Amino acid sequence: MSNELYPSWIELSKQAFEKNISFLKDYIGKDVVFSSVIKGNAYGHGIGHFVPMAEECGVRHFSVFSSDEARQAARASTEEDTHIMIMGMINNGALGWAIERNISFFIFELDRLKFAVKEAQRIGKPARIHLHLETGMNRVGLEKDQFEEAVDIIRNNHKHLQIDGICTHYAGAESVGNYVRIQKQIENFKEYSSWFEDQGIEARHRHTACSASALNYPETIMDIVRFGIAQYGFWPNRETYMNFVKKYPDINKEHKDPLERVLSWKSHVMSTKEVPAGEFVGYGNTYLTGRDETIATVPIGYSHGFGRNLTNVGIVLINGKRAPVAGLVNMNLLTVDVTDIPNVKKGDEVVIIGHQGEQEITVSSFSEMRNNMNYEVLVQIPSRIPRSIV
């Protein structure tokens, strides 16, 4: 459907995504499975558009948080050999649905394991499971004192279970402040996964790494890497980028970021108005013109993810220039000062995130203006905003 119907739109760069996964695959090695994490509506990029684009670029393994995301991914997929893995929430009542569709899921409690066996018996098809071990995250995971019972269940029902993986998740691998905790988790996983092997439980894959742990702790790269934020062109944080540059100076010898942002967010000028000096703009009295000013309205607001806390501090790009927000960010529109930008008119392109001319507003800069992480900014972009591949 044409973007003319919408106040703003998202563009996804296939070229940028291809560049990112090429870099990341080279880094982890050709024998390691690249799993594309698409939770949170593919980090705001849109599961429905992102999955087929990723498949066109050779991705065949996707990780989601919940069964509803798995359903969206399955509907969007166009390749028969694509596999979907649920890392988090799936109700026991939906396990049969997952088993029938060859979708694997994490086991981090005995109740889910027992119900998976029951559903696999009923359906006559083995459940594909990943044993998620508690190594020190203290969020979800099979506890050490549950290991023996889990092994007994698996041994007694080996015909109904396919052990796709044994895995864990690290507690903040992006920050050096968590170094000691991460090292302990790495040690625990080695010990626990070896114990399962000694009990005859052989998993097809061992996997623990997300973007941050893969980039900061190469020893966590095993059989699968679950890449989230990095595949979309963002480092988990600035610290991770700086550590990587120091560790691999040859990769960054041209001082150019090897990751490229996939997402751009655009709108257009809805209207312009000449406002005399000494007048308030918009609701209340948050912005007073200090001179005769040209004010442009843009049809996005806090209902679209452009936060109210960007009042008088946000920036957009118009005609290759930076235009500051002037006045309160409303539910559906914002006003910007374009006095110093020549020839702004109705219909001109507005960039909220992305390039325009020589200027750029990154998600990182946008998130810093909002005092949020780039993860948070991305997932708050509403799913109703149309996406397209460019």
All domains of the chain, ordered by start, with CATH? 14-247 (3.20.20.10), 263-361 (2.40.37.10)
Report, as an integer, the average pLDDT of 257-283.
Answer: 96
39 is a catalytic site residue: yes
Q: Which of 159, 184, 283, 345 is catalytic?
A: 283
pLDDT at residue 205 in the model: 98
Backbone angles phi, psi at 171, to 5 degrees: -95, 70
pLDDT at residue 372 in the model: 60
pLDDT tens figures, 45-64 = 999 999 999 999 999 999 99
* 3-state SS assignment for residue 289: coil
pLDDT at residue 376 is higher than 90 = no
Q: How far apart are CA 106 and CA 63, in angstroms?
A: 11
pLDDT at residue 1 is higher than 90 = no
Q: Which residues fall in the annotated binding site for substrate?
A: 139, 331
Determine the longest span between alpha carbons in the chain, in angstroms: 81
Assign 256 a pLDDT band (cuts: 50, 70, 90): confident
pLDDT at residue 320 in the model: 97
- 347 by Cβ neighbours in 10 Å (0-12 / 13-18 / 19+) ranks as exposed
Report, as an integer, the average pLDDT of 371-388.
Answer: 85
pLDDT tens figures, 299-310 = 999 999 898 989
Report, as an integer, the average pLDDT of 250-264.
Answer: 82
pLDDT at residue 245 in the model: 87
pLDDT at residue 250 in the model: 72
Report, as an integer, the average pLDDT of 27-36.
Answer: 97
Assign 81 a pLDDT band (cuts: 50, 70, 90): very high
pLDDT at residue 359 is higher than 70 = yes
Assign 90 a pLDDT band (cuts: 50, 70, 90): very high
Which residues partner with 161 through β-bridges? Answer: 127
246 is a catalytic site residue: no
Q: Which residues fall in the annotated binding site?
A: 139, 331
pLDDT tens figures, 208-244 = 999 999 999 999 999 999 999 999 999 998 889 888 9
pLDDT at residue 252 in the model: 60
pLDDT at residue 14 is higher than 60 = yes
Task: Please state, for a pLDDT cut of 90, what percent of the chain lies above it.
Answer: 87
Assign 118 a pLDDT band (cuts: 50, 70, 90): very high
Mean pLDDT, the chain, rounded, equals 94
Report, as an integer, the average pLDDT of 166-192.
Answer: 96
Q: How far apart are CA 214 and CA 170, in angstroms?
A: 11
Q: How far apart are CA 111 and CA 149, in angstroms?
A: 11
pLDDT at residue 238 in the model: 85
Instruction: Flag the least confident range among 103-117, 153-167, 354-368.
Output: 354-368
Residue for token pair 């269940």:
153
Q: Which of 27, 39, 241, 287 is catalytic?
A: 39
Backbone angles phi, psi at 142, to 5 degrees: -65, 125
Question: Could you tell me if 161 and 120 are in contact, meaning their C-beta atoms sit under 8 angstroms apart?
Answer: yes
